[in-house]
Structure 1
Amino acid sequence: MGKPDAEGPGPADGLPGLPPAWGRVVIPDDASALAAEAAQIRRELRRATGLPGGHRALGLPLLVLLVVVLTTLTGLLVATWPRASRSTDRPAPAPYSPPATLTGRALPALDLVDASQAPVPLRGLLPAMIILLDGCPCPERVADALAAAPAGVSVVTVTGGRTVPAGPTNQRHARALADPAGGLRSFLGQPARPGTATALLVDRTGKVTRVLPDLGPVETYRTDLTALAP
């Protein structure tokens, strides 16, 4: 059995802290009288917290969470896809130009190798037009340089690695050498470019008088080549 709480006064008597809608509060003498209400509360908690018997109560929130995650991932994919496509549209690299300080500098004392792998001091062939063929064999350009070179001026072709290609069968041919260590290309400061031959004009004192990043028609360098004559 129970008795009214707080010495008998009910909501109508103004019991502080309890809303009037609760009606009269009765505190039982035996706590076991609340067993039925406690069991009901435990069942409600199991359904709300996902304990056995409450899986269906969590089904809808999980479905909503899954939809939100998929929607977010789809939005991110749509937002980043065009950006990735635009990043591939990069401007073409600027054409190579040798360092401005290279002209007038002294050619380093490099030892290259010939077809027999014997060392050949490059400075011992000056004055010379040195053509780097590691980006392009360019036989026509080499033939033009040979035809335009004055007497006493060497035309030297340089390839990478240790393989020295065979020279032409005509009477005058270029001195073919290889640069296994890549010292000459390192002196230029730029890598080889496919389809392009690079040339240096070096006078008899070892000074670089001109650099031709892309060896073109002989008319573009004939005057400088003629000026190398001893």
Structure 2
Amino acid sequence: MAGASDNGGWSSDGGSPDDLPDLPEEWGVIVIPDDLSELSDEVDAVRAELRLADPPTRWQRFARRPAMRKLRRAAATTLRAPVLIISLAVLVTVASLFASAWPGPPRQPVTQRTANSTPEPATTLPALELVSADGQTVPLRGRLPAVILLVDGCACTGLVSDTIDAVGPEIAVITVSAAEASASTVGTPPTGATPPANGKTVQILNDPTGSLRSHLHLGTPDTTAAAVLVDRGFRIVRMVPRTASVEDFRGDLARL
């Protein structure tokens, strides 16, 4: 076996020189023969293993280049964000489907208004302008509280007279008709807002378009009148769609 001077600084007893690290312990004891021909069996075995592996193709050699490895790492890093976003979108979609299919509390059925349903009654007197007996425009809300009598098609002389007698001096009586009314029709003098002899305020107004009846959702005129009791705050206290007697609303006059 070669001496320490013949093997590049290694000692003859198998130890390592001072400036080189020790060999791994798992390698065991390594013996370097003086005659390298003794390693011919190991050389033949290694050559046989190398011959079994297929030679790399041109594409494999191209893919193993350092530039291609860097490109593959960059592409993998770039694809991570879209894949993460798509995964989150799929999870949110699945959660939404489960939430929509999950039975919730029962809902109350919504009542739909049909053509035959009765509209809700008005609660406030509309701000309309009607025409007085002398042709002047008069605001309907200009004199409140009031009892408004819609007298279209009604021979309401007795009803109007009884209403004037039943109200106090602070409550006006307003008669409204679609056609031009006369004093003989309603039983009151043809004045816009002139107090009669008994100190009551009476207005005779004309509503040629029937806007008040439409706003209040009243039916078509018949032989009866419609009475609307309105307080100072424009609030409708009582509405009688069909009446021929003051007794139908006498008890509500005190609320005006």
Structure 2 length-normalised TM: 0.46
Counterpart of 1:199? Answer: 227
Counterpart of 1:227? Answer: 255
Counterpart of 1:210? Answer: 238
1:147-177 deviations in Å (ceiling 9; x for gaps): 001121000000103x131253562563111
Matches within 5 A, 1:58-69: none
Distance change >3 Å, CA 205–CA 152, structure 1 → 2: same
SS in 1 for 2:212: helix
SS in 2 for 1:147: helix
Q: Is the 8 A contact 2:167 2:253 kept in 1?
A: yes
Matches within 5 A, 1:65-80: none
Counterpart of 1:151? Answer: 169
Structure 1 length-normalised TM: 0.51
**Unpaired segments of 5 or more residues in structure 2?**
1-117, 190-195
Separation (CA, whole Å) in 2 of partners of 1:174 and 1:215? 19
Counterpart of 2:86? Answer: none
Q: Is the 8 A contact 1:134 1:192 kept in 2?
A: no
Separation (CA, whole Å) in 2 of partners of 1:114 and 1:227? 27
Separation (CA, whole Å) in 1 of partners of 2:253 and 2:165? 11
Q: Is the 8 A contact 2:178 2:210 kept in 1?
A: yes
1:23-68 deviations in Å (ceiling 9; x for gaps): xxxxxxxxxxxxxxxxxxxxxxxxxxxxxxxxxxxxxxxxxxxxxx
Matches within 5 A, 1:5-24: none
Matches within 5 A, 1:84-95: none
Flag the structure with more relative contact order, 1 or 2, with Cα contacts below 8 A and sequence separation at least 6.
1
Structure 1 consecutive aligned stretches of length 4 or more whose deviation exceeds 3 Å = 98-101
For these two proteins, the number of residue pairs brought into alignment is 128
Distance change >3 Å, CA 187–CA 133, structure 1 → 2: same
Query: In angstroms, what is the RMSD of aligned CA positions?
Result: 2.0
Counterpart of 2:31? Answer: none
Could you tell me which amino acid in structure 1 is paired with residue 121 of structure 2? T
Q: Is the 8 A contact 1:106 1:208 kept in 2?
A: yes
1:168 paired with 2:188, answer yes
SS in 2 for 1:214: strand
Counterpart of 1:101? Answer: 121
Larger Rg: 2
SS in 2 for 1:158: strand
Separation (CA, whole Å) in 2 of partners of 1:122 and 1:178? 11
Separation (CA, whole Å) in 1 of partners of 2:235 and 2:172? 15
Separation (CA, whole Å) in 2 of partners of 1:117 and 1:137? 23
Separation (CA, whole Å) in 1 of partners of 2:231 and 2:201? 20
Q: Is the 8 A contact 2:121 2:217 kept in 1?
A: no
Counterpart of 1:124? Answer: 142
Separation (CA, whole Å) in 2 of partners of 1:224 and 1:196? 19
1:186 paired with 2:214, answer yes
Distance change >3 Å, CA 180–CA 150, structure 1 → 2: same
Counterpart of 1:134? Answer: 152
Distance change >3 Å, CA 151–CA 164, structure 1 → 2: same
Could you tell me which amino acid in structure 2 is paired with residue 138 of structure 1? C
Identity %: 41
Q: Is the 8 A contact 1:135 1:192 kept in 2?
A: no
SS in 2 for 1:150: coil
Moved more, 117-126 or 180-189: 180-189
